[in-house]
Structure 1
Amino acid sequence: MGDPSNKAGKLEKLIELNDELENYFNNTIIPQLFVDANLILRKFTPAAMKHFKLSDSDVGRHIEEVSNNIRFPTIVENISEVIGSSKDLEKEIQTTDKVWYQMNILPYIIKKENRTNGVIITFIDINDRIQILKGYEKLNRNYENIIHSISHDIKGPLSNIEGLIRILSETSKSEEDNRQIFHMLSESVVNLRRTVEELADIENDTEFAREPERVNFENVIEDAKLALRDKIAETRATISTRIREAEIRFSRKNVRSILYNLLSNAIKYRKPTVEPAITITTEKSGEYILLRVCDNGVGIAEDKQQAIFNRYTRLHDNVEGTGVGLFIVKGMVEDMGGTIEVESKVGEGTTFTIYFR
């Protein structure tokens, strides 16, 4: 028979460890859940109770029964995946209170038995980052509005002014005619001034995107995919990644805009009968960090490959767009001391390579 005092010591140690875990869960301000290997909710922090509207009666229930509170349809599958693989999983979700979180599912491993006995799920508030993402979406839409204003709202008043001046210079008019023409000139000038002021406001919107910071490529790729999710679903595009260099010091908003534009183009310029297949890779090369976006689209003729970086260049009239995306990308990269290159074959696809310094 075993030593009773030894058994008592082990039991006391287990109780102590359980008390420590209880104390941790009761005092942390981070929303966390502990789900066991049978997908039963065993513990949660007070922050999780508040944000996910959980109650003590939810302890002991299958996670599927409370998953609606978390508002993420694949959470059960994701937990099972982590238990099966013993590998961390990270995703962005929105809860029922409309708050965005980065969800990290970590395997709870029993070291002595070398097996996963459940998961600990942590939720980090990224609402500010999502709001920035929405702001960037607005900024991208504003780029198109700028071009529309240049081609219509500015050209229109200028043409009116030119025409009215020509009328004044060609023939003498009555005083009443002159008053009417001057009134029309005044309206055109007011219209032009208003448009210029609006463009100046849009220009100021870009100031928030210039400060460098530590940027995680995978997070930014997910942001861009989120922004393009409707296009991705509509075209059945597949996006694969090989991230060998995880981070870069750059303006996060600029990196996100670069990826957004390159992914958007890869989807836009697809072959009509082929689903888009896009690969994103990062790696270190000397003093540079390289980002590559490769697609299987229509490709770019060799004599057009430099022109695509010019403002307003459009190679295909049947594809929506304004022709400023790659011009903006090139400017963002070069402003920070980097370069962008393109390799392409018509009918085979295109690879853009960004050299971040």
Structure 2
Amino acid sequence: MKAIYYSKYGTPEVLEVKEVQKPSVKDHQVLVKVHAASINYGNLVLLKGEPRLARLVYGLSKPKYSIPGGDIAGTVEEVGSLVKNLKPGDEVFADLSNAGWGGFAEFVSVPEKVLVKMPSNLTFEEAAAVPMAAVTALQSLRDKGKVIKGKKVLIYGASGGVGTFAIQIAKSLGAEVTAVCSTRNISLAKSLGADFVLDYKKGNFEETTKRYDVILGVNGYQPISIYKRALAANGVFVHVGGSEAQMYQAMIKGPWINLTDRKKIYTFLQRANESDLQYIKELIEAGYVKPVIDRCYKLSDVREAFNYFAEGHAQGKIVLTI
């Protein structure tokens, strides 16, 4: 089968399309014929081996996983003898980040438990855009931010993969949502349900006198002190993505702020969770959430896809059609 393969950290130029052996299926595993996969920030971390701390998990000198790819959507091809809930022909989607990755390939063999049946109203490309980004948005808002009806939520970096899901999920939880994005993405943010939109190119959100119960930092470079100032008295800032300097500030200053102030600063790392993905599926089928796709690329154009993703200007998700 064809797969994207790499043996060293680096730029997208180290990625190559290679013929590799089709995986076999163990008793509890399912062989999935992959129709589409999507790119997330985690894929960029695995590719570059940066931040360097990530190499403690993904390989110190070279990548632990030679075939990248976490988010997939496809069709069940074969099932192991102990698989109970899936059969050949079922359409499924999943986040494989806790199951050995390997999604950028024509086939992948994974444990049954990581797979969820696809939303009935999505294409394979749309379904592949969902798992990691949508679950990240859900967990950061619901679990870390404790977002409930009536909360005021600000999403900085609202037009990317996580941000577009975060707007919709926050609205589904009953929050008032302020989206921060560039001028060209204002109409997108409004179409996804944002109550207010701030254009960071025309002014900084910290200049507003409004205070927020939850701020989700998906992108940006501001010092943590600026986000803290914009929080309500018992507000929570959740760092999901942004500059490395901002990440380290949240990791180092956050614990001290949490001990000495009613305001809270958290760094957040998503964990693949099938029950959360099932919850997202139900939101999608009910019409509360829809994926936003900027571009689709062929598997053979993976380098171009990664280069575009790394620019950081995509509206929603980048998808590989396999």
In terms of Rg, which structure is larger? Answer: 1
TM-score (normalizing by structure 2): 0.25
Which structure has more relative contact order (CA 8 Å, sep 6+)? It is 2
Q: TM-score, normalised by structure 1?
A: 0.23
By percentage of residues, which structure has more helix?
1
